[in-house]
Amino acid sequence: MALLPTVLARTWPKPNLSETLDGSLVQCALVNATIAGIGQVDAFPDSGSKVTLVSRHLVGSLPLLPWTRPPLAVVGGTTVAPADAICLKISVGPSTGLVEAAALDNNAVPLILGEDWFAASHAQLVFQPPMPSEIRHSTTGTSVRCHERLLPRMSNAVMIQGSSFNCHASTPQLSRPPANATPRPR
């Protein structure tokens, strides 16, 4: 069996300055995932995203499908039309799922695991601070612990319409000041 290459942070293309919010980094939980035919990559498990997202840079040499769904809603109220779509078999420990992922240009991480992957792989994201987040396989109970890394906060962060996060917050609420905020002197 051949060893699969690992996509390392130092080889990952850095986001453009225009896409990174000025001087901001955010601590992200990442997990090692294996994509069939590609190898091992860092993946961000996102229970708020309906769709799994992959960087087009990572899958550009594979056969891609046209994206036929509506554009994805982005934090701030705009939309992003994925470059393409691709069927991927993704494994994290004992959890394996087959999904149609949206291929995005200039993604901050190689892979974002969405609700579609969690359903297909019978896995769940367990978040119990102060413990590290983990992905637990529902059938076996086996867990894979996430590791944390600082990543740039992106201006093109995707919030899928109809995701579980969208049930609790809407993008207009994210852009308004809090109700009890005192006005700043001019």
Which has the closest alpha carbon to 3: 31, 35, 39?
39
Average pLDDT for 123-134: 91
Residue 146 token pair = 């996430």
**Which residue has better confidence, 133 or 150?**
133
Average pLDDT for 33-44: 95
- Per-residue model confidence as pLDDT tens digits over 62-78: 899 999 999 988 667 77
Pairing of strands 95-104, 53-55: parallel
Number of domains in the chain: 1
State the CATH number of the domain containing residue 103.
2.40.70.10
Asked, for residue 4, whether it belongs to a domain, the answer is no
Where does residue 39 fall: left (phi above 0), alpha (psi -120 to 50 degrees), or beta otherwise? left
Asked, for residue 170, whether it belongs to a domain, the answer is no
Domain residue limits at 64: 32-164
Asked, for residue 44, whether it belongs to a domain, the answer is yes
pLDDT reported for residue 109? 83
> Which residues, 6 or more positions from 75, have their beta carbon under 8 angstroms from its beta carbon?
157, 158, 159, 171, 174
